[in-house]
Amino acid sequence: MDREKLINVQLEILDEIKRVCEKNGIQFFLDYGTLLGAVRHKGMIPWDDDIDLGMLRKDYDRFCAVAPKELGKNFYLQTWENDIGYACPFVKVRRLHTHFIERATENTGQEDGIFIDVFPYDTYPATKLKRICQKYGIKVIDKLLYAKCGYILWEDRDTTKKRLYKVLGKISNIISKKTLCKCRAKLELIGNKDNTGYYIVQSGDGQYERYKVPKKCLEKGCIELEFENKMYPCPSDYDTWLTCFYGDYKKLPPESERVSMHNVKNIVIEGKSI
């Protein structure tokens, strides 16, 4: 893989998102491994292959409303609503006329251009009952959605998981995708009238408590940090933010763990595999 070409397309998408957000007064910030890369490497983590952004719910909803008409002609906002094969609980901005083909989604028929993930942050629910409903309700809905859309989320040798998703696929056939998505959206917002001092993001991987971060991290808004020779907004208290997600984030992981999280089968730019 020509990693430099991939990163250049991702940075093109990032700058387009930044343009749209600045024009419309929308706050976004580098998130997850992208934020870690900015802090620790001043750019992409050397073994990473994607860019992640975060937004608070009000900014996320605003972005989803304006992006379809504000994004340039070479970009596409991918959502549950506009792509029948897409099941992730967050939007992606994809670069048209490219392909980023992953094993998990290659049979879904969804738009598969090179992308950036954009995650919404909601308020962490105040009561144990709300948290249980949110955590497990979303977990079940996500599995049904992934099965319904034809995602491959098992290794070839994992026949038990493969059989489970076949069963879930049959169950999901009696429930419309629209109904599942509406139920999930309600669960995402279940704590937004509470005052807990924490945000949480429902990333779709089932690791609920891992994605809880103190609201104080954004009390002073965002600061600009260098990322691939340009400046981008990041949570002002990025140290606490990253510690919540990664623990001792300044320490490099073992070499055996320095691998991409995506099972990529092919990447195509300008009609050529890279």
Total-model pTM: 0.93
Buried b (16+ CB within 10 A) or exposed e, 168-198: bbeebeeeebeebbebbeebbebbeeeebeb
Structure tokens at 213: 């971060």
Q: Which domain holds residue 90?
A: 3-122+199-273
Is position 78 within any domain?
A: yes
Is position 186 within any domain?
A: no
pLDDT digits (tens, 9 = 90+) for 221-273: 999 999 999 999 999 999 999 999 999 999 998 888 888 877 889 999 989 99
Is position 88 within any domain?
A: yes
Q: Could you give the number of structural domains in the chain? A: 1
> By the 8 A CB rule, do 114 and 95 touch?
yes
Q: Tell me the CATH number at 221.
A: 3.30.460
Is position 156 within any domain?
A: no
Q: Is 266 helix (H, G, I), strand (E, B) or coil?
A: strand
Q: Residue 267: which of 50, 96, 101 has the closest Cα?
A: 101
Is position 160 within any domain?
A: no
Is position 172 within any domain?
A: no
pLDDT digits (tens, 9 = 90+) for 141-167: 999 999 999 998 877 777 888 888 889
Is position 147 within any domain?
A: no
Tokens 């998408």, residue located: 13
Is position 188 within any domain?
A: no
Q: Is 109 helix (H, G, I), strand (E, B) or coil?
A: coil
